[in-house]
Amino acid sequence: MHATDSLKKALSQAAQNPVYTNYPMSKVCSYRMGGPAKYFCAPANTEAFRACLLLCHQHQIPYIVLGSGANLLFRDTGFQGVVLSTKKINYFTSSNKGDVRVGAGLPVAALTEQTLACALADFEWASGLPGTIGGGVFMNAKCYGHSFSDIVEEVQTLTPSGEERTFSQPECRFAYKNSIFQHNQHIIMNIRLKLVPGTLYAIQQKTEEILKDRKNKGQFLFPSAGCVYKNDYNVGTPSGTLIETCGLKGHQIGGIRVSEQHANFLVNTGKGCTQDLLDLMQVIEAKVWEKHHVRLQPEIHIVP
């Protein structure tokens, strides 16, 4: 049997699910671009994740974890390794007191629905935020004055060698758009959240208000990964304003354009590729440095 075929078979057994070869990452990333991954699979459970990790280690193949791809981008040349999707780790349980346990791959939108159904408050702020809960914890995603660090109680992970670890809230070392998981290569598997019982009508109103605001801001008109750059609170001016005051709104390279609505959104007009985005980012970073003497820090994760 060809080496690629035997590895595919072994991976599929480990993942307890099908494995796809040369799978286009443009299909799974919100930017709708990025070349193919050599292998793509969604391990069925924690054991399956562990088995896949051990296999990757044994064969010395690089791997990357994918939530929903709302902040992750692959090069046009693709990825010569395994993309492990968390989408099958998507359970939800809750007590009526607001103790919520979820799998890392549960979409934020699904948790919004569940919290509505259970009349649990304190998650309305995440309405319309693309991504999974695991991705949100990894990024410490933030919007409307709240971030995941406000609601996380505990996170269970797998280390790269497959051991299970538990992190209390302080051990997650949350900071602005940052967490320990961006530095320790653990895979987030299970998350315990603390929400509070609320009134269905009030939760519904707030959820709809925030979703409407996102839609009114044109966030879903074109494929993107949201804001490309973090804000630097020491600078005091949002990155979008720094870009806008360089006269870059509407500036386009290939198929990627600086959004007219929000200059920190670099949108795919339809035929954009990752290289177009990287070229546009280079222009933006140079202009912002020239005019404001600020080094912009990317928020999106681009797989090397």
Ligand X SMILES: Cc1cc2nc3c(=O)[nH]c(=O)nc-3n(C[C@H](O)[C@H](O)[C@H](O)COP(=O)(O)OP(=O)(O)OC[C@H]3O[C@@H](n4cnc5c(N)ncnc54)[C@H](O)[C@@H]3O)c2cc1C
Closer by beta carbon to ligand X, 84 or else 287:
84
Q: Are strands 301-302 and 72-73 parallel, antiparallel or unpaired?
A: parallel
Shortest Å distance, C-beta 201 to ligand X:
25
Closer by beta carbon to ligand X, 173 or else 301:
301
Q: Which of 46, 68, 90, 94 binds ligand X (CB under 6 A)?
A: 68
The span from the first CA to the last CA of the chain, in angstroms, equals: 31
Instruction: Supply φ then ψ for residue 152, to 5 degrees.
Output: -80, 135
Any contact of residue 67 with ligand X (CB under 6 A)? yes
Q: CA dihedral in degrees (7, 158, 152, 296; nearest 10)?
A: -60
Any contact of residue 49 with ligand X (CB under 6 A)? no
Q: Are 105 and 189 in contact, with CB atoms under 8 Å apart?
A: no
Q: Residue 29 burial (CB < 10 Å; 0-12/13-18/19+)?
A: buried
Any contact of residue 256 with ligand X (CB under 6 A)? no
The alpha-helical segments, DSSP class H, found in 79-225 are 108-117, 133-139, 181-184, 200-216
Any contact of residue 219 with ligand X (CB under 6 A)? yes
Any contact of residue 130 with ligand X (CB under 6 A)? yes
Beta strands in the chain (DSSP E): 19-24, 36-41, 63-66, 72-73, 79-85, 92-94, 99-103, 120-121, 142-143, 146-147, 152-158, 164-168, 187-194, 196-197, 252-253, 256-258, 266-268, 301-302
Closer by beta carbon to ligand X, 50 or else 287:
50
Closer by beta carbon to ligand X, 94 or else 140:
140
Q: Which of 53, 225, 263, 284 binds ligand X (CB under 6 A)?
A: 225
Shortest Å distance, C-beta 113 to ligand X:
16
Size of the site for ligand X (CB under 6 A): 33
Any contact of residue 266 with ligand X (CB under 6 A)? no
Q: Which of 19, 129, 243, 288 binds ligand X (CB under 6 A)?
A: 129
Residues 129 and 226: their CA atoms lie apart, in Å, by: 9
**Sites for ligand X among residues 234-253 (CB under 6 A):** none
Q: Which of 98, 135, 238, 240 binds ligand X (CB under 6 A)?
A: 135
**Sites for ligand X among residues 85-124 (CB under 6 A):** 86, 104
Any contact of residue 72 with ligand X (CB under 6 A)? yes
Give residues in contact with ligand X (CB under 6 A). 30, 64-72, 86, 104, 129-132, 134-136, 138-139, 141-143, 181, 187-188, 219-220, 224-226, 301
